[in-house]
Structure 1
Amino acid sequence: MSRHIDAHADLHSDQGPLRGEHPGRAVNPIVKVRDLAWLEFAKPDLDRAELFAHAFGFTTALRTRDEVQLRGTDPGAPCVIIRKGPRSRFLGAAFLAADATDVLRLAEATGRRVDRLPDSLGGTAVALTDPSGVSICVVSGVQRLPELPAQTPLTVNAGHALERTNATQRPPREPARVQRLGHVVLQSTRCLETLNWYLQHLGMIVSDFQYYPGQRERGPVMSFIRCDRGDTPADHHTVALTLGPSNRYVHSAYQVCDLDALAAGGEYLRERGYHRSWGIGRHILGSQIFDYWRDPDGFLVEHFSDGDMFDAALEPGWAPMSASGLAQWGPPITKDFLGIAPGRESVRELHAMISSLREDNEFDVQRLRGLLKVASS
């Protein structure tokens, strides 16, 4: 693609790159993945996990004694695979190759072998590990689940456009039916190294960079990266990488049809005693309407709707990171969402900060000061 659109032209960020800053893409990537295929988790109680999943809006595609596959209404692979394990943890992510030969090319370039996936999924995969230790596989030829009946966006009288007459709006109080997996956010102590790995190995490109206030010269501390589909638009971010004192899963996001489905689905979850972490609001970077929830094991998951879609022409934007800059509108950001509410998560992160500062990584004392400044903003 030869055309390029400047990031600072009031499209998605008020700043473009400065001379010599990260270009946001690899010159000659090994392959270019098409999409995020699924995420994998381990959980000790599959019944409890499946109960929450149904309230959140997933449909069970497969259930065995040791595994649950959860899907959305869109055709394709399952969104989430949960395997029975002694403790709840994030296992990794699968990406969909643009072509079967890409799996072979990636395997050859990395010295890995190509394996067949289980019959329940079909297809082949090459298993990799990113610099943060996250298990990544690139898959091809997986079985395509058929489309399911989906929620239909409401017909809305917006402004003076009269689309609905002699009819009322009564969205049912029911789960917001998940359409598809949108993105995953990961924290890394080696954020720049990990970013470059995704750009080089998977051919992803940056939509937006964020830096700690006053530390732009040290480079980005958060990168929102999307799939490079050429002229075909892709989600503003399929993966977001943020610098922090530990390597961990932050959250994953799942698309629903519109604001009413998201809001009514949130009421359904609230009435059943599940914990809303933050929402409802609209993000700045990515523009999504969002609503964040904790599953019974404390994992953060998001309903979203109306996200930005960019083709490969758009250059990355640059912006300072701040807690108040996460939303255009909505309730104040919560300590729970930031991971600083009193509890096991904040204690683990505090211990990680102490350990990380003793190790050779990108999270040093100056970065810690920047992170604390963001959290207090």
Structure 2
Amino acid sequence: MTRTAHQDLHSEQGALRGEHPGRSRNPVIKVADLAWLEFEKPDLDRAEIFARDFGFSVAARTEHELWLRGTLAGSPCMVIREGRTSRFVGPAFRAAERADLDRLARATGSDVRDLDGTGAPGGGRAVDLLDPSGFPVRVVHCGEDLPALPEQRPLLLNFGADHRRTNATQRPPREPSRIQRLGHVVLETRVFGRALDWYLDTLGMIVSDFLFLDGQRERGPTMAFIRCDRGALAVDHHTLAMHLGPGNGYVHSAYQVTDLDSIAAGGEYLNERGYKRSWGIGRHIQGSQLFDYWRDPDRFMLEHFADGDLFSRDLEPGWAPMSTSGLAQWGPPATRDFLGANPSPARVRDVIQALRGDNELDPARLLGLLKAVNT
């Protein structure tokens, strides 16, 4: 039997002849990672309270901006600016080299501008773009990294006959999970195919896994887990994930913590303070992360994760059917809140507008998505 890149790895299926290759032949640049996410909220004090409870540290705070960070050296994780309403603005990706910004600006007809004076810790330069879904996308090259902060140490574990801990007890403190770094962001889009190709062609990202609707594989994928292309260096299974849906919007963002005990003890800390768990604790299939999802006071979903897959450029995309049962190897059933399946006037408006608009959602696709949610 011929072995493939999928044998004993991340997927039982690879691409069929003629399917999307999951990468661009000649991208403009190759981004190195997510830098940070940008939000607007009317109450920065309330946002900071949740941020500290969730496990962020504050990198900088002004009257109108809040910059949040993790413990690892590098760029901040998130900036929250004061605004009239709570909304997700867009992602910022980190360019591998300063020259990439010039190349990107020439290719897209954009300008390279200074980040000095914007409040970004360390300053730097940026190119501002707009993806096909309408999300502002910023590509940055930071002038100076933030220094590392003290870590939350992983517990020393005993495994069967492998006894690494003797004459000592385990007492993980009931405290916030200490965020290490930003891992990924998930977006919903009505123009999935166009948006996917834009991120691959413009930012040089590559697909780790595709999901398709049952009985509609010939129409192409409806979700992609996308990573940065760092060559032989293994990176997160996905830095960006996108799926077809009736809206264009933020779904969730994910932040790495030390281990399972950090997830669980930090979750108890959040629960005691009255925050709402959306779904967890469990272990995903695509990406393999241990996960726990929470809602902040403005209903944005954030994930604590640990122990995710790392892929180098060598692995080709996997293909799998899209279904709720395919979201986790173990854990409680996915909730309607996590799936976005709770009916609301706003969601009904999204569906009506999507079915009437010039996009990739039609009645067959909508029915397929509904079937996947209930599978």
Question: Normalization by structure 2: what TM-score?
Answer: 0.97
Q: What residue number does 1:53 align with?
A: 51
Q: What residue number does 1:66 align with?
A: 64
- Residue 159 of structure 1: CA displacement? 2.4
| Percent of aligned pairs sharing the same letter | 64
Residues 75 and 142 of structure 2 are in contact (CA less than 8 Å); yes or no, is this contact kept in structure 1?
no
Residues 226 and 237 of structure 2 are in contact (CA less than 8 Å); yes or no, is this contact kept in structure 1?
yes
The separation in 2 between residues aligned to 1:233 and 1:284, in whole angstroms, is 18
1:55-82: CA deviation from partner (whole Å, max 9, x where unpaired):
0000111111100000000011110000
Q: Within 5 A, what are the aligned runs for 1:133-152?
A: 133-152=134-153
- Residue 118 of structure 1: CA displacement? 2.9
The separation in 2 between residues aligned to 1:111 and 1:287, in whole angstroms, is 39
| Count of residue pairs brought into register by the alignment | 370
The separation in 1 between residues aligned to 2:310 and 2:52, in whole angstroms, is 28
Q: Which moved more, 1:332-341 or 1:27-36?
A: 332-341
Q: Within 5 A, what are the aligned runs for 1:221-236?
A: 221-236=222-237
Indicate the SS of the match to 2:356.
coil
Task: Confirm or deny that 1:81 pairs with 2:82.
Answer: no
Residues 11 and 319 of structure 2 are in contact (CA less than 8 Å); yes or no, is this contact kept in structure 1?
yes
The separation in 1 between residues aligned to 2:160 and 2:364, in whole angstroms, is 49
Q: Within 5 A, what are the aligned runs for 1:1-377?
A: 6-119=4-117, 120-121=119-120, 122-342=123-343, 346-377=344-375
The separation in 2 between residues aligned to 1:366 and 1:347, in whole angstroms, is 22
Residues 7 and 15 of structure 1 are in contact (CA less than 8 Å); yes or no, is this contact kept in structure 2?
no
Indicate the SS of the match to 2:80.
strand
Residues 212 and 370 of structure 1 are in contact (CA less than 8 Å); yes or no, is this contact kept in structure 2?
yes
Residues 77 and 142 of structure 1 are in contact (CA less than 8 Å); yes or no, is this contact kept in structure 2?
no
- Residue 7 of structure 1: CA displacement? 4.2
1:102-156: CA deviation from partner (whole Å, max 9, x where unpaired):
0000000000010000344211000000000011011113321100001011110
Letter matched to residue 232 of structure 1: L
Indicate the SS of the match to 2:148.
coil
The separation in 1 between residues aligned to 2:368 and 2:229, in whole angstroms, is 31
1:254-313: CA deviation from partner (whole Å, max 9, x where unpaired):
000000001000000000000000000000000000000000000000000000000000
Indicate the SS of the match to 2:162.
coil
Q: Return closer, same or farther for 1:6/1:347 CA change in 2, 3 Å cut-off.
A: farther
Question: Which structure 2 segments of 5+ residues have no match?
Answer: none
Q: Which moved more, 1:273-282 or 1:8-17?
A: 8-17
Indicate the SS of the match to 2:231.
coil
- Residue 330 of structure 1: CA displacement? 0.3
1:185-215: CA deviation from partner (whole Å, max 9, x where unpaired):
0000000110000000000000000001111
- Residue 341 of structure 1: CA displacement? 2.4
Residues 209 and 286 of structure 2 are in contact (CA less than 8 Å); yes or no, is this contact kept in structure 1?
yes
Question: Normalization by structure 1: what TM-score?
Answer: 0.97
The separation in 1 between residues aligned to 2:186 and 2:5, in whole angstroms, is 22
CA-based RMSD: 1.0
The separation in 2 between residues aligned to 1:304 and 1:347, in whole angstroms, is 32
The separation in 1 between residues aligned to 2:19 and 2:368, in whole angstroms, is 19
Q: Which moved more, 1:42-51 or 1:139-148?
A: 139-148
The separation in 2 between residues aligned to 1:200 and 1:245, in whole angstroms, is 24
Q: Which moved more, 1:6-15 or 1:219-228?
A: 6-15
Letter matched to residue 326 of structure 2: G
Letter matched to residue 225 of structure 1: I
Letter matched to residue 54 of structure 2: F
Residues 29 and 103 of structure 2 are in contact (CA less than 8 Å); yes or no, is this contact kept in structure 1?
yes
Indicate the SS of the match to 1:278.
strand
Residues 6 and 314 of structure 1 are in contact (CA less than 8 Å); yes or no, is this contact kept in structure 2?
no
